[in-house]
Amino acid sequence: MRLFKEPLLYFLLAGFGLFVLYYSINPEEDDQTIVVDENSLLTFIQYRSKAFSPELAKKRWDAMSELERKQLLRDYYEEELLFREADGLGLMEDDYIIKRRLVQKMDFILQSSSAEPAKPKAEDLRTFMDANAEDYKVQPFASFTHVFLPASDSSQAAAEKVLQELNTKSVPFSDAGRYGERFLYHRNYVERTRDYVAAHFGEPFAETLFNWPESELDGQAWIGPIASDHGQHLLLVKQRKAAYQPTLEEVLGRVEQDYLRKQQEEQKQAAVKALSSKYPPKGDATLIDMLQGE
């Protein structure tokens, strides 16, 4: 027959054969297929723990008991089931929560695709620390115990009388609880910052304590009375340290973490900037100028 002599027929049959062969080897997954494999579970673990490290996720998976793995599998499968059904019902359309989720996933992808920052050199860390000196400045702090007398018309006179007794008897740090009344917060404060002290006693109290003459703070003599928002206080100050700038060696681990985090953020922002050329903004000219301005 003439039909079987047409080259086009054989071309079409060959193409159909290749099509059938491809999909027999690579069956296409539809939206109703839920893939359950190690990669899917490791991704699930990373999002659940908010720690985006495949190596750490693998360690967690390997350390799980059979019961824990089974529960994780159920959680993963249930989440996928509900997602597919919600998608089928069109619940994702115009949903800000879903939008945020997708943004987080894209953020994760950009972070994962960024090159791992090289271990910084000491001079790089020193330069970084100098540029962010205030972030590493150690705030002033003090260690003290106190005797509290609630506010009253006679609290000032009563406090001065108790102060004399405390110093006459050389009452130690551990015996402060035998005097005064119970305070709203703590009796002993160990290496507490000025801001912490101010939060409990008020700013005027903190100002007085951290400016008290150093010569009178020998760790043996009680000082005061110092007024707070609550009443009068007599203090035995065991330690007070002014604000200071630590050396790089003292905060090396923290500086290195901050440096690497900044490098990763800069890489991510570079990727975001590259995407911005693909999706140029349009609309209000004033707002666009504000968006694109430095």
DSSP 234-252: EEEEEEEE--B---TGGGH
How many Å apart are CA 62 and CA 156, to the nearest integer? 66
Residue 154's CB is within 10 A of a number of other CB atoms, namely: 9
Q: Angle 54-63/38-49 helices, nearest 10 degrees?
A: 100
Q: What is the pLDDT of residue 38?
A: 86
Longest dimension (CA), the chain: 127
Per-block mean pLDDT, blocks of 10 residues, the chain (294 long): 47 43 44 80 86 86 90 88 82 81 81 72 91 90 94 81 92 88 92 94 95 90 92 94 90 91 85 79 79 70
SS3 content of the chain, % helix, strand, coil (to 5): 60, 10, 30
Q: What is the pLDDT of residue 266?
A: 85
Q: What is the pLDDT of residue 174?
A: 85
Q: What is the pLDDT of residue 26?
A: 45
Q: What is the pLDDT of residue 200?
A: 95
Structure tokens belonging to residue 250: 């003292």
Residues 6+ apart with CB under 8 A from 116: none
3-class SS of residue 5: helix
Structural domains in the chain plus CATH codes: 9-113 (no CATH), 122-134+247-292 (no CATH), 138-241 (3.10.50.40)
